[in-house]
Amino acid sequence: MLQSCHHCDYDLMGLPDTGHCPECGEYYDKHSSYRAVRSTESAVSRHIKWVLLAAFTAAVLLTGATIAAVSEEKVGPIVLTLLIAGVSGFGSFAYWWAERAERRASN
């Protein structure tokens, strides 16, 4: 029988057999830990996606800064770098918004 949330390890003793964790909001079922384990895996994959998006944005900024440093024309590479980083940042925001909406819809 499930005693703590698989997502955040919150103590579920004294709570109903099914519901949402008061700490993180993930669904739990004390009699079937399948859904809780699946939620943990999706949380891990979400974190990996965020790390990859952050690494991509940092790589774009670093590449643009390097090009701007060696380029004789200073404005073009900087504008291009900011444009690409802005698109990446907007993609990250849109992804976060969609994940948030999906989590709210499943609750």
Read off the pLDDT of residues 65-88 as tens digits, 9 standing for 90 and up. 787 777 777 677 777 777 887 887
Q: What is the pLDDT of residue 48?
A: 80
**Residue 29, both tokens:** 């079922």
**Per-residue model confidence (pLDDT) at position 35:** 45
Q: pTM of the entire structure?
A: 0.43
Calpha distance 58→85 (Å, rounded): 8
| pLDDT computed for residue 47 by the predictor | 74
Query: How much is the pLDDT for 41?
Result: 52
Q: How confident is the model over 6-61, as pLDDT tens digits?
A: 777 888 888 998 888 898 888 888 876 554 444 555 666 777 877 887 888 788 77
Q: From CA 69, how far away is CA 98, in angstroms rounded? A: 37
Q: Are 85 and 60 in contact (CB under 8 A)?
A: yes
User: Residue 37: its pLDDT value, please?
Assistant: 47
Instruction: Give the position of tokens 């993609």.
Output: 91
